[in-house]
């Protein structure tokens, strides 16, 4: 965190929703939360949360979503990766709400990465999303034919959902 902040405008850092949420105790023995690099200790998570809550412009969301088939996660040699795509923005919103930093959410999710990579900001014609408070849980599984994937925080209410416009 400190190193990236001190390296200048050509160095940025993506942070995943799950690394803002997890510590080692949250994934050890829980294959659907196992990822690489592994989530570490509370002070590591706190450092990530601190820098994004500050709204630092060179830190931005990287999904790193990994929809591994259930049988590839529920085995002795589970694939590393967390499936976050279905509720990516709500996961991040829940963390930012917990930190009291919802005012920094749009920058982290939408603006900082675009600015860093020189990508134009979207126009009104590109559509918008709205975050809505909800008590609805994340789906237990996503299935397509014989493929079943378990999402991050399956069955848990995370407090937010996305509506598109």
Distance of CA 131 to the CA centre of its chain: 15
What is d(CA 6, CA 147) in angstroms, rounded to the nearest whole number? 44
Catalytic residue among 64, 103, 111, 125: 64
What is d(CA 45, CA 42) in angstroms, rounded to the nearest whole number? 5
Give the list of residues 6+ apart from residue 125 with CB closer than 8 angstroms, or none.
none
Q: Is there a cis peptide before residue 37, judged by omega within 30 degrees of 0?
A: yes
| Count of beta carbons in the 10 Å neighbourhood of residue 148 | 15
Give the list of residues 6+ apart from residue 110 with CB closer than 8 angstroms, or none.
none
- Has 64 been annotated as catalytic? yes
Where would I find the beta strands (DSSP E) of 22-158? 59-61, 129-133, 142-144, 147-149
Catalytic amino acids? 64
């Amino acid at each position: 965190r400190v190193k990236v902040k001190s390296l200048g405008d050509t160095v940025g850092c993506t942070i995943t929703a799950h690394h803002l949420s997890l510590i080692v105790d949250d994934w050890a023995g829980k294959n659907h939360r196992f990822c690489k690099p592994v989530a570490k200790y509370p002070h590591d998570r706190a450092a990530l949360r601190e820098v994004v809550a500050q709204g630092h412009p060179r830190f931005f969301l990287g999904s790193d979503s990994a929809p591994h088939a259930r049988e590839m996660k529920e085995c002795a040699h589970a694939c590393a990766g967390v499936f976050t795509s279905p509720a990516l923005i709500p996961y991040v919103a829940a963390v930012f709400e917990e930190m009291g930093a919802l005012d920094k959410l749009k920058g982290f999710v939408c603006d900082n990465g675009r600015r860093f990579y020189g990508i134009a900001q979207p126009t009104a014609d590109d559509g918008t999303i709205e975050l809505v408070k909800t008590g609805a849980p994340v789906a237990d599984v996503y299935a397509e034919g014989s493929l079943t994937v378990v999402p991050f925080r399956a069955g848990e209410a995370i407090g937010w959902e996305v509506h598109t416009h």
